[in-house]
Amino acid sequence: MIGVGNPWRGDDAAGLAVARLLRGTVSPEVDVLEREGEPTGLVDAWEGADAVWLVDAVVSGATPGTVHRLDASAQALPAELASASTHHLGITEAVELARALGRLPARVVFYGIEAAGAEPGNELSPEVEAAVEQVAAALREEVVGCTSAS
């Protein structure tokens, strides 16, 4: 599981917050990582994994705190779920780069948490904070289902 974001840009830290909630609460077989979202770093981080879950803040125009769950292993992530990242490239580009290079894990699930803003600061908005809890709970269930089946 890889939580993506910038800890100093408000809701852009949503993926990192999910990773921090999951750390120590899932099977030791599951690596829980935090990354800033640079595409080649993400591709390297999931190297050799059979499954990867990615969590990042997005800005699509939906209500802040809305959770988007997509199977990125089967199709490209929609452009309208552009990352709220303060970087120019992010998860969408990493997934497509890995797909083109034949380095995409067999299972890739993306959770996007709709951001209210990415202003400087280290506080999440209340809507995003609630969504972080929701996504962490959903991921615990998904990861248990995946790791117990192996």
> Mean pLDDT over all residues of the chain?
90
Q: What is the pLDDT of residue 88?
A: 55
pTM, entire model: 0.91
Confidence of residue 123 (pLDDT cuts 50, 70, 90): very high
> Residue 144 gets which letter from DSSP?
H
Beta bridge partners of 36: none
Within 13 Å and on the Cβ side, how many CA atoms surround 112? 26
Q: 3-state secondary structure string, 104-138?
A: CCCEEEEEEEECCCCCCECCCCHHHHHHHHHHHHH
Asked if residue 145 has pLDDT above 80, the reply is no
| Mean pLDDT, range 109-124, rounded to an integer | 92
Is the pLDDT confidence value at 91 over 80? Answer: yes
Q: What is the DSSP string of 18-75?
A: HHHHHTTTS-TTS--EEE---HHHHHHHTTT-SEEEEEEEE-SSSPTT-EEEEETTTS
Task: Using the Cα atoms of residue 97, residue 89, residue 81 and residue 141 in order, give the sign of their dihedral.
Answer: positive
Q: What is the share, in percent, of the chain residues with pLDDT greater than 90?
A: 69
Torsion region of 63: left, alpha or beta (phi above 0 gives left; psi -120 to 50 gives alpha): beta
Q: Give the pLDDT confidence score for residue 148 in this predicted structure.
A: 62
Strand order in the sheet with 67-71: 33-35, 2-4, 51-58, 107-114, 67-71
Kindly indicate the confidence band of residue 138, based on its pLDDT and cuts at 50, 70 and 90.
very high
Averaged over 44-54, what is the pLDDT?
Answer: 94
Classify each residue of 99-113 as buried b or exposed e, where b means 16 or more C-beta atoms within 10 Å of its C-beta.
eeeeebbebbbbbbb
> Does residue 33 contact residue 1 with C-beta atoms inside 8 Å?
yes
pLDDT band at 78 (very low <50, low <70, confident <90, very high): confident
Confidence of residue 16 (pLDDT cuts 50, 70, 90): very high
Per-residue pLDDT at 89 exceeds 80: no
Asked if residue 121 has pLDDT above 90, the reply is no
Domains and CATH numbers, the chain: 2-148 (3.40.50.1450)
